[in-house]
Amino acid sequence: MSFLDVDHSLTGRRWVGPPIEVTRAAEAIAQHAGLPGPVAQALARRGIPPQEAEAFLAPSLRDLLPDPHALRDMEKAAARVLAGLRARERIAVFADYDVDGGASAALLLVWLRAMGHDATLYIPDRIDEGYGPNEDAMAQLARTHDLIICVDCGTLSHGPIAAAVDTDVLVLDHHLGAETLPGALAVVNPNRQDETGDLAHLCAAGVVFLLLVELGRQLRRDAQKGPDLMGMLDLVALATVADVAPLIGVNRAFVRQGLRIMAERARPGLAALADIARMDTAPTSYHLGFLLGPRVNAGGRIGAADLGARLLATQDVHEAAALAERLDRLNTERREIEASVRAAALEQAETRGMEGALVWAAGPGWHPGVVGIVASRLKEASGRPSIVIGFEDGIGKGSGRSISGIDLGQPIQRLAAEGLLLKGGGHKMAAGLTVTGDKLEAAMARLNELLEKQGAHLAGAADLKVDGLLMPASATLELSEMIEKVGPFGASAPAPRFVFADMAITFAKRVGESHLKLGFGDGVGAKLDAICFGAFDTPLGVTLEGHAGRRFHLAGRLDINTWRGRQSVQLRLEDAAPS
């Protein structure tokens, strides 16, 4: 049965309330822990038992941090890094060009610098070199370095790692591994085939942080002291959110503590980036994912690949300001390129049909730096795993994004093994691939077949899950702050969504090109503001702006808005339905 009998909202979705067992669990949590109903409901949705509610609201890194030895090759990798330090060896860090790769590289560079050692940073060009290690780059680095550390890449790089002759290679990664590993000295990866999978939710920066923990442990064993690691959690938090890693287990503690560190503005690069993004409030996971992350990513997408890592690693405030400004300009340019590719890809996908297990689009000249973002847009529009590929000289480089419950990385890897792709890999929710034009149709047909076996074709327009009803008078700052403690919110940990039923709209105003600002109330006296981003990209904008006195059920998430030093609660509106 639909919530409030909403079977077809203004965005075409059915509203679904919490299952009865979640409602009963919420009642037990509220009674046991003395928490407000909405907070208890959010905890129950996360599956938190009543006796664990208080501990969950205050996640401790000390309690949640896994033993680094839980990962294979960890002890060996740390020992090799320390040996390189003591021998004053030449060390290179080879990183992926996204936020996770940049943050992972910065973690290592900052740690090594604190130990009195400057390492070489190498990040491949997305267009000229593609993802991950390549043979030319690895051979070149091997000629001038004694140790190469690959971060956020390398697990599938058998040939390139073999090209690093007479040089030890360490791999710190989280992408899905194959049955055989490359010939590196150590491959530390929670998604190796021979791992338990207990730490599969870590991003690469989380893996690197565990290496730093192990390095500190080995230093203490030898009566030495390493750098303070807590101050580096801002980088781990940024990578965890930007790479859409599930906010469960230790990832929750990483992000919670990292946001506190970031608020201190001690890292010049992040402080400069926050300023240029006009962040005037304490950072949240939203800021990491939608303001800071895209700007760090911009260099790897359409500019110099190493800009983001350099920004995150620098201690020079002037360099940080210059890099942040450059990345901001590139991000603006990236949005313009993305809009053009998105329009073409959506038109092509709609023409081909969006009812199968896979939605895909490919075109000549589509910039490889934006195909992943456009794939996300196709996924959101279709509710299906989506692939977008840009071709140049007969070679297509693409990215894919998946939906909950459908593993995209494994089928992509299988296509590469079957020879339909030149290369491909990733993880459950995101993957990358390279394909020749003559095999494009066959590869997409085979991928559709593999995804259909997982049931991807059965996915419909996503239901909107709501956690319950709220009245405007109940949406207080105190309640919002308590709900924030259930977070941080993000992948696999969505913020609770509430419905304000039978509301009268008191004002509606377009903001920018596609956003809508609203005021609404229950007619008794209590009123609340709302913001709906991208409202005019859907029927929400036009319908609510021209409400003509009609009343609506409004669904969204509570948000704390700060304006000129004053805080107030607003609704981040996601959907609506006539009441």
Share of the chain above pLDDT 70, in %: 99
Is residue 563 scored above 60 in pLDDT?
yes
For residue 468, list its beta bridge partners.
498
pLDDT digits (tens, 9 = 90+) for 83-122: 999 999 999 999 999 999 999 999 999 999 999 999 999 9
Residue found under tokens 């943050």: 103
Residue pair 514/537 in contact by the 8 Å Cβ criterion = yes
Q: Which fold has domain 64-328?
A: inorganic pyrophosphatase (n-terminal core) (3.90.1640)
The conformational region for residue 421 under phi > 0 = left, psi -120 to 50 = alpha, else beta, is beta
Q: Which CATH architecture group holds 353-458? A: Roll (3.10)
- Total Cβ atoms within 10 A of residue 149: 29
Per-residue DSSP letter, 164: S
pLDDT band at 462; cut points 50, 70, 90? low
Residue pair 203/243 in contact by the 8 Å Cβ criterion = yes
pLDDT digits (tens, 9 = 90+) for 180-228: 999 999 999 999 999 999 999 999 999 999 999 999 999 999 999 999 9
pLDDT digits (tens, 9 = 90+) for 367-386: 999 999 999 999 988 889 99
Task: Name the pTM for this structure.
Answer: 0.88
Question: What is the reported pLDDT for 460?
Answer: 59
Question: What is the reported pLDDT for 235?
Answer: 98
Question: What is the reported pLDDT for 252?
Answer: 95
Question: What is the reported pLDDT for 281?
Answer: 85
Closest CA to 472 of 549, 529, 517, 544: 529
Average pLDDT over residues 307-329: 98
Average pLDDT over residues 503-527: 92
pLDDT digits (tens, 9 = 90+) for 353-367: 988 999 999 999 999
Average pLDDT over residues 114-140: 94
Is residue 286 scored above 80 in pLDDT?
yes
pLDDT band at 319; cut points 50, 70, 90? very high
- Domain extent listing, the chain: 3-17+466-578, 22-56, 64-328, 353-458
pLDDT digits (tens, 9 = 90+) for 221-231: 999 999 999 99
Q: What is the mean pLDDT of the chain?
A: 94
Average pLDDT over residues 289-308: 93
Question: What is the reported pLDDT for 280?
Answer: 82
Dihedral pair phi/psi, residue 122, rounded to 5°: -135, 120
Share of the chain above pLDDT 90, in %: 86
3-17+466-578 is classed CATH 3.40.50.720: no
Question: What is the reported pLDDT for 490?
Answer: 85
Per-residue DSSP letter, 219: H
3-state secondary structure of 159: helix
Is residue 493 scored above 90 in pLDDT?
no
Is residue 513 scored above 90 in pLDDT?
no
Is residue 565 scored above 90 in pLDDT?
no
H-only helix segments in 246-316: 250-263, 268-276, 285-287, 293-302, 307-313
Rounded Cα gap, residues 100 and 481, in angstroms: 29
Is residue 461 scored above 60 in pLDDT?
no
Rounded Cα gap, residues 199 and 250, in angstroms: 9
pLDDT digits (tens, 9 = 90+) for 36-56: 999 999 999 999 999 999 989
Question: What is the reported pLDDT for 297?
Answer: 94
